[in-house]
Amino acid sequence: MSLKNQFCAIVALHEALKWQWEVTVALGLEDFSVELFWDVDRQSVHLPEHQRWLVERVMEYGRWPDWLLLKERVSKQELMDLLPTLRISQKSRSFLELYCA
């Protein structure tokens, strides 16, 4: 691969990563606790595609500020719709049921 092609590939990769970072910042995922993303790359999480996963993580492992951020990004109706499919503890489920009621 020529030097010019290598440079073009690096520029393209940089632009893709920059776009991915901008999307992450726009969604505010960088505000959530680092511990929630212990086993995944934070930039690979995309809402609404991974909404259920994020709700499960926040409910099981999140801190209070994570819950407050989640409430800003996921409506009560969306939480109610997700509730039957969530894999969370009974304690977390009861909390969500009370919140959504």
Residue with tokens 């409430």: 71
Would you state the pLDDT for residue 45?
Answer: 86
Residue 48: is the preceding peptide bond cis (ω within 30°)? yes
Domain range enclosing 29? 3-100
- Judged against a pLDDT cut of 80, whether residue 100 lies above it is answered with yes
Task: Give the C-alpha distances (Å, rounded to integers) separating 92 from 44, 57, 60.
Answer: 25, 11, 7
What pLDDT digit, counting tens, does each position of 34-49 carry? 999 989 988 888 877 8
Domains held by the chain: number: 1
